[in-house]
A = this chain, B = another copy of it.
Amino acid sequence: MTDERIWTAERIWTAGLLVIGDEILSGRIQDRNVAPIATWLNIQGIRLAEVRVVADVHERIVAAVNALRSENDYLFTTGGIGPTHDDITVDAIAAATNVDVEVHPRARAALERYYETRGGITEARLRMARVPAGASLIENKMSGAPGIRHGNIFILAGVPHIAALMLDALSGTIEGGKPLVSRTVGGWVPESEVAELLRDAERAHEGVQIGSYPFFREGRVGANFVVRSTDQPVLDACVDDLVARLEAQGLDVIQGGV
């Protein structure tokens, strides 16, 4: 029996992520969505290929949406789907995809239920039921405002724990390829002392990538080496080889990284 993967170039699924928010660009708050979305995507077998952060400006959002969706299988966005005047994500994505904005009946019903005991529905709150025409909803048990799926575009909340709930709801529903697996080893060594060795180990194993991440801790320098591949046996062989090369140079290698 032939292992098809040997003969067929594997399809790599990619996503772009657009973070919409003046508050990130002003430095007021630090983004906390990129890392969890990247990790979640990887579990779905999708690689995060690019992130852009743009201001709450219609034209900027439209341009970034069109660039990222044309280059990737999927586009995720965070931020700008609340009820206030600076929440313009839905309008921008509708404009970028040439559809109208409509009120989604199920989103309206969910908001009416949610606000029944919280002062009732208002025009501002109803803004959160607006979706690009034809879009479907992404459930969210935490607040009344749903996320939105519009073709290959996934519109998530900016508040990290709500974005995470929306990802949970999407888990297993999006087609992807083989997840990238990784292993980390590290040691107390300046990366410049092992630079050639790292390059050689990477070249000796097709389909792996080795990243080198230096750090300064407790007054000493060290580095972690992250080996990535979609193929576990290939990954393991490369890690074994890398460890042997590092130990041959006298380094105490720490599995899992320092």
Contact = CB atoms under 8 A, between A and B. Distances in A.
A107 to B, nearest CB: 14
A48 B27 contact: yes
A177 B74 CA distance: 38
A140 interface: no
Interface in A121-137: 122-125, 127-128
Interface size class on chain A is 35 or more
* Oligomer: number of copies: 2
Interface in A60-107: 60, 82-86
A32 B3 CA distance: 42
A60 B214 CA distance: 23
Nearest to A36: B27
Given A198-B85, A211-B56, A27 B23 contact: no
A156 interface: no
Given A52-B50, A215-B159, A216-B161, A23 B226 contact: yes
Chain B CB count within 10 A is highest, among A127, A199, A214, for: A214
A34 B194 CA distance: 29
B28 A31 contact: no
B118 A211 contact: no
A124 to B, nearest CB: 3
A119 interface: yes
Given A25-B47, A30-B32, A48-B27, A191 B82 contact: yes
Given A84-B191, A85-B199, A198-B84, A27 B39 contact: yes
A49 B55 contact: yes
Contact of A211 (B22, B42, B182, B228): B22
25 contacts: A24-B34, A25-B38, A25-B50, A26-B38, A28-B35, A29-B213, A30-B31, A50-B52, A50-B53, A50-B54, A82-B192, A83-B192, A85-B198, A85-B202, A85-B212, A86-B209, A86-B210, A86-B211, A119-B193, A124-B196, A125-B192, A127-B195, A128-B192, A159-B214, A159-B215
Interface of A: 19, 22-32, 34-42, 47-56, 60, 82-86, 118-119, 122-125, 127-128, 142-143, 159, 161, 180, 182, 190-196, 198-199, 202, 209-216, 226, 228
